[in-house]
Structure 1
Amino acid sequence: MDRLTNTVRPYAWGSTTAIPELLGTPPTGEPQAELWMGAHPGAPSAVVRDGRETTLTEVIEADPEGELGPEAVRAFGPRLPFLLKILAAASPLSLQVHPDPQQAREGYADEEARGVPLDAPERNYKDASHKPELICALTDFDGLCGFRRAPEAADLLAGLDVDAVKPYVDILRASPASDALREVLTAVLTAGREEIAATVQEAARAAERLSTGHPAAETAAETADQTAAETASEPGIAAPGTHARAYALCASLARHYPGDPGVLAAMLLNHVRLSPGEALYLGAGVPHAYLSGLGVEIMANSDNVLRCGLTPKHVDVPELLRIVRFEPGAPAVLRPEAGPGGEERYEVPVDEFRLSRCTVAPGAPATPLDARTPQILLCTDGQVRIRKVVNGGGGEDAQLPLERGQSAYVPAGERVEATGDGTLFRATVAV
C-alpha cells in the first residue's frame, strides 16, 4: 500500500474553497478545480518506495505486471488505464464530447500522418484511446448531458420569441428528431461570428426576462416540480415560468461566455441535477458539460476531447459532427448497486475502470477489498483504516489510516480490508 500525494489543477472554472475544505487545508484564494489521483503523465501522483519519493508512473514502468497484474497489462498495456479525480466546479466547463475507440484510433492516426504537433491548439486527438467518464456527486451537482427531445427543445427556443432563433424552432418541429438536432447544432456552430454573437446576446436578454425570480440551480424539490411542468407543456410559445429553470441557465451561461454559440447549443441539452451519491456515465458521442458542484470523477486515461462551445479553445466543427450522437432522450442517473461485503458499485459498460463506494462503521466487520488489478482508495468522509492482510494477519506497519480527502494506491493482487468510520471510494480495473 502507498499513500498518494496528489496534484491540484488550478483551472479557472474551479472552486476556491471546495477542495481545500475536503482536504482540511486553507484556501489559497486561487481556483482549485481538480485533484488528480493516478499515473497520468500530466500530473502523476507521488508515492514513497524504499524511503524515496517517486511517481506512480515510474513505479508502474519499473514492474508493470507486478503493479497492474497480467490481466490489466494484456488488456491495456503497461499503464494504469484510469484516472481518478475530485472535481470542484464553481462555473461551467466547456461543452464537449469524446470519441469511441475506433474514432480515437482513426483520428489520432490521421493527425499523426498529417504532422499536427501534439501541443498544437487545433489538435483533437492527443492519444489513440477513448475517454468514457463517470461523475459521482458528493454535493448537489449540476450538469448538461445528452439532447433534449426535439419538441421540448423547440418549445424552449420558441419561448424566447427571438426572430433569429425561429428557424431553429421550425426545423425542430418539422424534421425527424436526430436530423433536426444535427441541423440546428450545425447551423449554430457554423454561423458567422458576429451574427451568432448578436443572436446569443438577444436570446440571453430574453432568457433573463423569462427567468426572473428563478435561479439556475434550485433545490431538488424545485427541480422535480419544474421538470414536471416542462413535461406537461404544450407545443407553441411556452407559458411564462414553464421553462424558467432552463432560461435561468441560458442567462447564466451567457454571462460566463458572452456571445458564445455554446449558449444556444446548451439549450438543446438536458439539464441534470445529481444528489449526493448519484452519478452520470458519459459514453462516446454524448455532449455534456459540468456546471457546478463537487464530485468524484473517474475516466479512461485519455486526453481526447472535442469541444463544441462554452470555451475560447479550438472547435473543429466537421470532426465534432462526426463524433456527436444525435440521440434525444432523458439521461440515465445511476445509483450504486449493492455488491458483496457492503460494497456498492456503479455499473458502467467499460473495462478501463470500475467505481464503487463503501461505508464502514465502528464495530462492523472489515470490508474486504481484494482485487486482481490495481486499486486507488479515496476517503471522502470520516476516517478509514486500510489494513494489509499478510498470511491471515497483520501489524501496525501494515496499516494505513486515511483521513477525509486522502487516498492510497494498492498494487494488483494485494489483499487489503477497510475498517473505521467513514466513506471510501474504490477505483479499479474491471477486467
Structure 2
Amino acid sequence: MELLRNAVRPYAWGSRTAIADLLGRPVPTPHPEAELWMGAHPGDPSKLVRPDGSEESLLDLLDADPAHHLGEVCTDRWGSRLPFLLKVLAANEPLSLQAHPSAEQAAEGFEREERAGIPRNAPNRNYPDPTAKPELVCALTEFHALAGFREAHRTVRLLGELDVPTLRPHTALLAAQPDADGLRALFTTWITLPEHYLRGLLPELLDACVRHVREHGEFALECRTVLELGEAYPNDAGVLASLLLNRLVLQPGEAIYLPAGNLHAYLQGTGVEILANSDNILRCGLTPKHVDVPELLRVLDFTCGDMRVHKGESLDGNLTVYQTPAEEFRLSRVDWSPANSTAVRLDSDGPQILLCTKGALRLTAQRPGAEPAELELGKGQSVWLAASDPAVLASPVCPDGTAQVFRAAAGT
C-alpha cells in the first residue's frame, strides 16, 4: 500500500483548471492539462513514493517481481504487464474522432506493420502494440461525447430536417437502406469526399444547422455540435461523420463503455477513464494526425442504436460497480455521505489502484502478525495495492463523513 506520483499530460485540448483543482494546485495553469495517468504505461509510468521520500517506477517494479505485484491470475494472462491504465481526463475542447481495434485486429495489424518495417513511433503507424483497447469513462462533471452510430431512421430524419441540397442524394441513400450496411455506405462516401467538395458542402451544412438551432428543432444539440466542430476543424470530413453518431450528455456518476469498433469523440468535461494499456487508435477526423481510411473501415462497427449509459450496479449501500465484458479492467466507485460513512473492505487477488476524488480517506491494512498499516489519502491522491497486499479497510476522515474513491482492478 504505497502512494503514487502520477504524470500529467499537457495536450492542447485539455483544461487549465480541472486537474490542477483535483490535485490542489493553483488555477489556472500556464498550459492546458488533459490527462492524469495512473499505472504502468511505458510512456509515463507512475512512481511509488516510499516513506523516506524516494521514488521507484511502477513499470520497473512489475518487471522485477510480477508475481508479487500482479498475482498469479494476472501474470498467467498478461505476463509482467499491468493490463489497465487509469486516467483523469479533462477535455476543454473536442478530442479526435476515433475507434479502437479488437484483440484479433490489433494482433494482425501489429504483425503486418512489423513485417512492413514501419517504426513503432512513426506518425503513420496504426498498431504500435498487439493488444485491444476497450475503454470506459465515468463522468465527474457533466460530460459531453459522441459515441456509436445513431439509429439509422433517426439519422434520416435529422438529415431531412436539415435538408441540405447537396446532401439530398446521401439522405436518399440511407433512407433506402436504414441499417448498418446503409450507414457503412454513407460513412464511406463521406469520409472519402475530396477536400474541394467538402469546401462547398460544409458551409451549406453549417447554415442549415444555424437555422435548425434558431428554430429550436428536435436536433438542436446535434446541430450545435456540428457548428462547434465546423469552426474548429474547417473542411474536415469528421464534421460530417459527427452527424451519424449519438450525442450524449453524461451526469456525474454515469458512464459509457466503448468496445472495439465504436466510433467516438469526447467533447467536453472531466471524467475518470479506465482503458486497456494500449496505444492502438484508428482516427477518423477532427485531427491533423494520420487518418488511414481503409484500416478504419476494417475496424469500425456500424451497428446502430442508442448508446447505453451505465449508471453502475449498486452493491452494499455505498459501493457501485461498472460491469463490462472487458477482461483488462474493472472500475468501481465508493461514496460516503453523512448518512452512510461505514468503512468498506477492499480486497482482491490482483493489482488495484485507488484514486480519491472527493474528501479524504483512511486506509487500514492488517497483515497477520504485524501492526496495522495506515495511510491517509487526500483528494487527487492515489495509491497502489499489490496483489500480495492484505485487504484494505477504507473509511472517510472528513468531519462530515463525505468522500469518494474510484477503484481500478484487473477484469475478471
More off after superposition, 163-172 vs 372-381 = 163-172
Cα shift readout 1:270-329 (whole Å, capped 9, x = no counterpart): 001111101000001111110111100000000001011111111111111111111110
**Does structure 2 conserve the Cα–Cα contact (< 8 Å) formed by 1:197 and 1:261?**
no
Change over 3 Å in CA distance of 1:49–1:59 after alignment to 2? farther
Q: Distance in 1 between matches of 2:132 and 2:264?
A: 16
**Structure 1 residues 64-79: aligned runs within 5 Å:** 64-79=66-81
Gaps of 5+ in 2: none
Q: Distance in 2 between matches of 1:5 and 1:170?
A: 55
State the SS of the aligned residue for 1:334: coil
AA matched with 2:73: E
AA matched with 2:125: R
Q: Distance in 2 between matches of 1:162 and 1:338?
A: 46
Change over 3 Å in CA distance of 1:243–1:176 after alignment to 2? closer
AA matched with 1:112: E
**Structure 1 residues 115-264: aligned runs within 5 Å:** 115-212=117-214, 241-264=217-240
**How far does residue 165 in structure 1 lie from its aligned partner after superposition?**
1.4
**How far does residue 361 in structure 1 lie from its aligned partner after superposition?**
4.9
Q: Which residue of 1 aligns with 2:31?
A: 30
**Does structure 2 conserve the Cα–Cα contact (< 8 Å) formed by 1:201 and 1:259?**
no
Q: Distance in 1 between matches of 2:387 and 2:405?
A: 18
**How far does residue 207 in structure 1 lie from its aligned partner after superposition?**
1.1
More off after superposition, 191-200 vs 280-289 = 191-200
Cα shift readout 1:349-380 (whole Å, capped 9, x = no counterpart): 01111000012357844211111101000000
Q: Which residue of 2 aligns with 1:229?
A: none
AA matched with 1:411: A
Cα shift readout 1:368-420 (whole Å, capped 9, x = no counterpart): 1111101000000011111112228744xx21111111110010031211011
Q: Which residue of 1 aligns with 2:48?
A: 47
Q: Distance in 2 between matches of 1:6 and 1:289?
A: 25
Cα shift readout 1:177-217 (whole Å, capped 9, x = no counterpart): 111110111111111112123312321222123213xxxxx
AA matched with 1:198: G
**How far does residue 125 in structure 1 lie from its aligned partner after superposition?**
0.4
Q: Distance in 1 between matches of 2:292 and 2:356?
A: 39
Q: Which residue of 2 aligns with 1:223?
A: none
Q: TM-score when scaled to structure 1?
A: 0.90
More off after superposition, 265-274 vs 161-170 = 161-170
Q: Which residue of 2 aligns with 1:333?
A: 309
State the SS of the aligned residue for 1:129: coil
Is 2:329 the partner of 1:353?
Answer: yes
Q: Which residue of 1 aligns with 2:366?
A: 389
AA matched with 2:268: S
State the SS of the aligned residue for 1:4: strand
Q: TM-score when scaled to structure 2?
A: 0.94
More off after superposition, 153-162 vs 263-272 = 153-162
Q: Distance in 2 between matches of 1:371 and 1:45?
A: 21
AA matched with 2:60: E
Q: Distance in 2 between matches of 1:360 and 1:175?
A: 50
Q: Distance in 1 between matches of 2:103 and 2:317?
A: 34
**How far does residue 106 in structure 1 lie from its aligned partner after superposition?**
0.4
Cα shift readout 1:211-253 (whole Å, capped 9, x = no counterpart): 13xxxxxxxxxxxxxxxxxxxxxxxxxx861221111111011
More off after superposition, 190-199 vs 120-129 = 190-199
**Does structure 1 conserve the Cα–Cα contact (< 8 Å) formed by 2:138 and 2:256?**
yes
Q: Distance in 2 between matches of 1:341 and 1:37?
A: 27
Q: Which residue of 2 aligns with 1:412?
A: 387
**How far does residue 104 in structure 1 lie from its aligned partner after superposition?**
0.5
**Does structure 1 conserve the Cα–Cα contact (< 8 Å) formed by 2:355 and 2:382?**
yes
Q: Percent identity?
A: 49
Q: Distance in 2 between matches of 1:84 and 1:155?
A: 39
Gaps of 5+ in 1: 213-238
Q: Which residue of 2 aligns with 1:403?
A: 378
**Does structure 1 conserve the Cα–Cα contact (< 8 Å) formed by 2:5 and 2:49?**
no
Q: Which residue of 2 aligns with 1:90?
A: 92
Q: Which residue of 2 aligns with 1:12?
A: 12
Is 2:271 the partner of 1:300?
Answer: no
**How far does residue 64 in structure 1 lie from its aligned partner after superposition?**
0.4
Aligned length: 403
AA matched with 2:411: A
Cα shift readout 1:129-148 (whole Å, capped 9, x = no counterpart): 00000000011111011111
Is 2:358 the partner of 1:377?
Answer: no
Q: Distance in 2 between matches of 1:17 and 1:211?
A: 30
AA matched with 2:405: L
**Does structure 2 conserve the Cα–Cα contact (< 8 Å) formed by 1:154 and 1:168?**
no
